[in-house]
Amino acid sequence: MSESVIPSAPDAAGLAEPARPAPPAQSGTLAVRITRLTLGRSLAADDRVAVEAPLEFQLHHPALGGEAVSFGTTMRTPGDDESLAAGLLYGEGIINRAEDIAAIETSTRRPNVVNVRLHSHLPIDVQISPRRFSAGSSCGVCGTTSLDAAIARAAATRIESPVRVELAVLLSLPARMRESQSKFGDTGGIHAAACFDARGDLLGLAEDVGRHNAFDKLVGENLLAGRLPLSNHVVLLSGRASFELVQKALRAGVAVLAAIGAPSSLAVHLAAASGLTLVGFLRDTQCNVYANAQRLISAGAPRSA
């Protein structure tokens, strides 16, 4: 493998130092040399960025005649690739339980390929349509070949969970998630999806440069551990709540989906129709509840603006 090279930042006099080999990625981050600028000052410094690399999903099944079928490629932060593969296939409806997977294999020889071997008992379409998402790490449903099918499948789901969450607990979750985000602290440029119980205890967290990848890693980890559905849990997203992420939450049986950012219109409509509690703009003192607020317990009565 050839060694990548990062150009050095110029020094204060504007002269660049000789290029040097890039340090190896550690825990999904990479050390880089930067120029930090302020008014009247230029300073060479060290920084870390989130690693983004391709991952191809190869499916193996007896019905495919011994040939591997590519299910597409995504850009992701290396690490937890097995969970990412399991979560993606579950979200897409290719598998319905961990037992549908015979093995998930990654190789140091081909670090950007994950092979998923499916059991023969699993029905599979020989002409299985691959995901078309080779270009981005932020795309979810935009990679599927049938948007209408994805919407119809999600809209048919109903969340009936009776779980109740204290508002004070919900408001405390962003700080708890941030404390556990090792890669975000290093780079400031990576997404997270975290799972909590109704008491606010952190049960799992996944990080990735892609919002959807982080969620798939979280779901895949719980799937392989036999912890789905997440009907008594809260899932917190570090970014916005799009339709694709609500769709994934419904598939995993999530009762309460909260986001640091804003929801989209389609996400709100889908959550309301499916019984999912959807929270946006979650901060330490307030939040907006866009659908099914009955699962949140507040000490004060709601007031109109």
For residues 178 and 181, what is the distance between their CA atoms, to the nearest angstrom?
Answer: 5
Q: Which helix (H) or strand (E) holds 268?
A: helix 265-274
Assign 3-class secondary structure to 94-110. Answer: CCCCHHHEEEEEECCCC
Bond preceding residue 229 cis, omega within 30 of 0: yes
DSSP assignment of 213-255 equals HHHHHHHHHHHHTT----TTEEEEESS-B-HHHHHHHHHTT-S
DSSP secondary structure string, 24-84? Answer: PPBTTEEEEEEEEEETTEEEEEEEEEE--EEEEEEEE-GGGTT--EEEEEEEE-SS-HHHH
Q: Please state, as a whole number, how many other Cβ atoms lie within 10 Å of the Cβ of residue 131.
A: 20
- Give the residue numbers annotated as catalytic, written as ranges: 139
Please tell me the distance from the alpha carbon of residue 255 to that of residue 231, in angstroms, as a whole number.
Answer: 5
